[in-house]
Structure 1
């Protein structure tokens, strides 16, 4: 670390000043690690999933990038007066971490950990030097799990794009194929492009690699940007190739051959292919490089003298800013002990199994409908109910689906905007509306109204998120209220309500909506017993 005075101890020995500096650095680090432990636990849990299994490598690579950058900035023997911006950053990190701990959203605590790393570097080296170490700090972002709402939106989008490109490639090779959502129909069999086939498990490590590639690349900024952003199309393309090859194998050799192919191509084969394409793109970029270097010359791979930088730890000084950083960590730990453990009280609710089978003039048709094990696992709800209600023989039925989560801090509600397209339904229209006037209510009743279609079938959909006493139409707003409620009261429960009705040929939207409005009006009365509003 940078010093504020010279060392007078014999070579190889630590001075008392260095010992004191290392002591306060250790106190600051241990206190922060203890405070952010929930976020670190969340990282370890996320790293056990295929999408984030690359996570443990990210801190190692970031550390190597830091040591490499450190070579460019020799120790400063004089006093360092610009350490205090780092203290402000550390204070921000503890504030964000506290919000994450209060809301019980451990991912936020993990994000705050990276802010703390940036702050401690600024405290150690001062603003003028520490600000140059942003590349390795920013690289740590690649070890973090995406927020659930973003993960499912990105995953679904990549599934759709990969499916469409894969089917396009199959058609180029004269393979008869039809795509319905994420289901590839080969005629003799149907292949489902599952979430695991979205390409996310390749995208995240490739993004990390392309980031390092862009940092090491010596060239214009626009070329660095191209190399960084190219990770997404390269990954999607290779994933589509994998899907297309899988379709060919399934079509000509059968599904039993496809399983072995999938296992073979799920791991390093796709990753290495993406890396080769990335190097190929870099080689192509050299034609536009003003210096016309070779690829070896364009990549700064000089790692000499990197490990000797570790010895600069003994230059750490017990500066007032470093001591303040340690005190802030201890204070944050002490303050957290004052927060009661029982802030969150499990909601009192009636199970959906007791939900009435009559809602006004609507009656449940047949028994409750159960989801398939795979869908139920993906839904991950603590309780759900799916049933069909009818009014009379002439009126099309209305489907009712409700899901409840005791704790949404580790996942939570999946928006139908994500789930419906993956099952083959195309969203023709989606708008957020307030149906309070139609229901004769004074309080707002916001929800999403959608028209979806599959072939010649059309369906109208109502859905909304129930977050405490709020009905919320926008999924991002629901997550915001989840965060706010978690901070304010510790409550993180919530639910989803969805109503659907088929639209006959020639039927107007107004007629279909009248059914959903009537069903919603009858549903509003008993619903709070099953999805609490307090």
Structure 2
């Protein structure tokens, strides 16, 4: 096997094995590359500790550690082959982008806006990757790099704007269904009344914020399982958000029924977390079920070959 030096990296060539390419080994790192890694860790560590404290301890951000671990695994598996495409990035373009990201990072760090700080840091790291390895490498690694962005919390204001209409619609449909089944239930604005209990729409639909978690996990499954069949993978990805909305509808029904039969305290205690777990399981199992039922479609879009 021939080796070729690429800057400070040494990348091994692929060799065909029974018609398939053998994964190349990770390149050996030079002292300069290790210094760069140490610098990146020193810059990222304070931000990641803040993200873990502020976001990963919440329901909508609890997927962060899992995304970080699986995203790192994807990079570990795919970076060596991608480095074969290495070429120098545009120094002016890449340098300007990194500078802007670092300025935004500094401002966000001073003001304590963790949502901006996290994405500004990540942008600076992507810009550094572009300068070191070129755009072709980043394009080859597009999914792991996109997927790792889920470890940072999105702006609360944006989440509220996007999810509020969906929350209201879910609550209205839940009330309509239970009313049709004979339950003493009604709604007024953002409040649901069942018997003598009041339940806020925001509390009932709090799980909708975890739609980001569900999207991240399901995207990982679709990519790893069906990346070779990109047309089928794209169709399956389109089902993720509707499935998450349906799962949250089930969660709202559960919380309303728990409130009705066991009281408000039960619905806001262990049962609240249990309903969230049920919602997550429903979403994941629904994706698995759809994937299984769509086998003929997958084979058709894969030109007759199952992946």
TM over 0.5: yes
Give 1:110 shift. Answer: 1.3
CA distance in 2, matches of 1:182, 1:200: 15
Match of 2:102 in 1: 97
CA distance in 1, matches of 2:115, 2:202: 25
Q: How does 1:16-31 map to 2 (within 5 A)?
A: 21-31=29-39
Give 1:286 shift. Answer: 2.5
Match of 2:175 in 1: 167
Give 1:83 shift. Answer: 2.1
Match of 2:64 in 1: 55
Match of 2:146 in 1: 138
Match of 2:87 in 1: 82
Match of 2:293 in 1: 284
Structure having the larger proportion of residues in helix: 2
Match of 1:474 in 2: none
CA distance in 1, matches of 2:181, 2:57: 38
Give the SS at the match of 1:56: helix
1:175 and 1:248 in contact (8 A); partners too: no
- Is 1:242 the counterpart of 2:251? The answer is yes
Give the SS at the match of 1:191: strand
1:206 and 1:274 in contact (8 A); partners too: yes
1:238 and 1:270 in contact (8 A); partners too: yes
Structure having the larger proportion of residues in strand: 1
CA distance in 2, matches of 1:218, 1:139: 14
2:208 and 2:245 in contact (8 A); partners too: no
Structure 1's 70 and 35: CA in aligned 2 closer, same or farther, altered over 3 A?
closer
Match of 2:13 in 1: none
How large is the Cα RMSD of the aligned pairs? Answer: 3.4
CA distance in 2, matches of 1:66, 1:86: 24
CA distance in 2, matches of 1:38, 1:157: 35
Match of 1:270 in 2: 279
Give 1:211 shift. Answer: 1.4
CA distance in 2, matches of 1:207, 1:122: 27
CA distance in 1, matches of 2:219, 2:72: 14
Give 1:206 shift. Answer: 0.8
Q: 1:176 aligns with which of 161, 184, 189?
A: 184
C-alpha distance after superposition, 1:128-153 (max 9, x if no partner): 34420111000012111111321222
Give 1:253 shift. Answer: 4.4
- State TM-score, norm by structure 1: 0.46
2:185 and 2:195 in contact (8 A); partners too: yes
Bigger Rg over Cα: 1
2:82 and 2:141 in contact (8 A); partners too: no
1:250 and 1:257 in contact (8 A); partners too: yes
If asked which structure has higher relative contact order (CA below 8 Å, sep 6+), I would say: 1
In structure 1, the gaps of 5 or more residues are 8-17, 299-534
C-alpha distance after superposition, 1:62-103 (max 9, x if no partner): 1112233346x2875xxx772224884465134222123235
Structure 1's 109 and 90: CA in aligned 2 closer, same or farther, altered over 3 A?
farther
Q: How does 1:96-135 map to 2 (within 5 A)?
A: 96-102=101-107, 104=111, 105-123=113-131, 125-135=133-143
Match of 1:333 in 2: none
Match of 1:386 in 2: none
CA distance in 1, matches of 2:182, 2:272: 22
CA distance in 2, matches of 1:212, 1:108: 24
Give 1:278 shift. Answer: 0.9
Structure 1's 266 and 119: CA in aligned 2 closer, same or farther, altered over 3 A?
same
Give 1:207 shift. Answer: 0.6
CA distance in 2, matches of 1:4, 1:121: 15
Give 1:29 shift. Answer: 3.0
In structure 2, the gaps of 5 or more residues are 11-26
Structure 1's 90 and 61: CA in aligned 2 closer, same or farther, altered over 3 A?
farther
Match of 2:22 in 1: none
- Is 1:4 the counterpart of 2:6? The answer is yes
Give the SS at the match of 1:142: helix
Give the SS at the match of 1:141: helix
Give 1:191 shift. Answer: 1.9
C-alpha distance after superposition, 1:205-263 (max 9, x if no partner): 21101211232315654532332232222122112112212323333444455344323
Structure 1's 166 and 249: CA in aligned 2 closer, same or farther, altered over 3 A?
same
